[in-house]
Structure 1
Amino acid sequence: MTGTQQVAYVVACSAPPALDLARLTKLIIEEGWTTYAILTPTAATWVDVDALAEASGHPVRVDPRRPGEPDPLPPADVVIAAPLTFNSLNKWAAGISDTLALGLLNEALGLDAPIIVAPCIKKALRRHPAYKQNADRLRSAGAIMFDPDRVFVDSTNVSSFRWDLLVPT
């Protein structure tokens, strides 16, 4: 924790709701949390990283730190993986840490902080056998997984999330 504020990591992948990630960040901050955004490399090319850093008050992390560099992230009190793609969900369940975002998600499974997961996955991909198996694996490891249909909103060709459902209290 930093001071008396609790720390939330927002880990985002390259899915359309990531374009509106600053809104989630602002909602979390309004609840009194300090928020750090961690993006996959592709998500970082989609999102206005400067606007997200301004919204959170902290630099957005994409790349891992170099050996010997101090860790710029304080320990998390909650981790919110939103949006989480099919690709990242399956890599995470397999323990693959080929990005900072996946590395932090893998580490989070071994910590005491809750992990809130909001997948953004097409219905066809949810019928793929890897999805159910790996979503169940992550749930059994302690991840709190939302049904994609509960959080996903698609209106007037703009895909977003019910961000309010993901805000820790």
Structure 2
Amino acid sequence: MTTTDRVLYLFGSAAPPVFDVDKVIQDAQGRGFDVCLGLTPTAARWLEPQLSELEVLTGHPVRSEYKMPGEPDVWPKADVIAVAPATFNTVNAWALGITREFVVGVVAEGIGKQIPMVAMPCVNAAYVQHRRFEWSVSELREMGVRVLYGGGGFVPNEPGQGKPNAYPWGLVLDAAEDLLRC
């Protein structure tokens, strides 16, 4: 954990690049961020063996569920939120305001709170043929979310041809820093 005034909520969905989240946290901390990690339930299940190490690394509980009413918040307030990898489901649920999952609920509310946010999808080329995906990306952009998709962001691969090690994590952290300069 670093001591800083810049708090980054890093939210990950269940896509293969989420397995590198420890390296991303370390990179973000090197950039002066205090990182709070939130995961979709499936991503939390994938990272179950690492969750305690990730909590030590960040100095905060890893969250994947809503807290109970009346419970105190265990995280400091976010200065910026990064959602990556953002799956097809996460992108669409966020754009539609379907807040069943904790991370989607926080970012949906974050729009109203005017918290700077960046998202980078991780979807294959078959998913992006579904017309709701492009609509969702456009909706999020219209709501002020910087979506790193297409040129200068994530470019989908063909189904089964994913390159998780080539996921451009640095672009997400660069954008988070840039959003705080605006």
Contact 1:92 1:105 in 2 (8 A): yes
State which of 141, 150, 164 in structure 2 corresponds to 1:159: 164
Partners of 2:109 and 2:119 in 1: how far apart? 15
- 1:75 correspondence with 2:81: no
Quote the residue 2:19 is aligned against: 19
**Runs ≥4 in structure 1, deviation > 4 angstroms?**
none
Partners of 2:137 and 2:113 in 1: how far apart? 19
Partners of 1:71 and 1:80 in 2: how far apart? 19
Partners of 1:125 and 1:153 in 2: how far apart? 9
Q: Deviation of residue 112 (structure 1)?
A: 2.5
Scaled by the length of structure 2, what TM-score is found?
A: 0.84
State which of 49, 63, 66 in structure 2 corresponds to 1:64: 66
**In 2 relative to 1, CA 51–148 (structure 1 residues): closer, same or farther, beyond 3 Å?**
farther
Segments of structure 1 that go 5 or more residues without pairing to the other structure are none
- Say which structure, 1 or 2, has more relative contact order (CA 8 Å, 6+ apart): 1
Contact 1:151 1:165 in 2 (8 A): no
Partners of 2:46 and 2:27 in 1: how far apart? 21
Contact 1:152 1:162 in 2 (8 A): no
Calculate percent identity across the aligned residue pairs: 32
Q: Deviation of residue 51 (structure 1)?
A: 2.5
Query: How large is the Cα RMSD of the aligned pairs?
Result: 2.2
* Residues 77-96 of structure 1 aligned to structure 2 (within 5 Å): 77-96=79-98
Scaled by the length of structure 1, what TM-score is found?
A: 0.90
Quote the residue 2:29 is aligned against: 29
**In 2 relative to 1, CA 153–90 (structure 1 residues): closer, same or farther, beyond 3 Å?**
closer
The 3-state SS of whatever aligns with 2:66 is coil
Contact 1:80 1:115 in 2 (8 A): yes
Contact 2:85 2:122 in 1 (8 A): yes
Partners of 2:139 and 2:156 in 1: how far apart? 26
| Higher helix content, 1 or 2 | 2
Query: Match of 2:44, as an amino acid?
Result: A
Query: Match of 2:19, as an amino acid?
Result: L
* Residues 141-152 of structure 1 aligned to structure 2 (within 5 Å): 141-147=143-149, 150-151=153-154
* Residues 95-114 of structure 1 aligned to structure 2 (within 5 Å): 95-114=97-116
**In 2 relative to 1, CA 148–44 (structure 1 residues): closer, same or farther, beyond 3 Å?**
farther
Segments of structure 2 that go 5 or more residues without pairing to the other structure are 178-182
Partners of 2:54 and 2:3 in 1: how far apart? 22
Partners of 1:158 and 1:119 in 2: how far apart? 13
Query: Match of 1:42, as an amino acid?
Result: T
Query: Match of 2:164, as an amino acid?
Result: S
The 3-state SS of whatever aligns with 2:35 is strand
Partners of 2:164 and 2:113 in 1: how far apart? 32
Deviation sequence 1:61-86 (CA, Å, 0-9, x none): 11111111011122110000000000
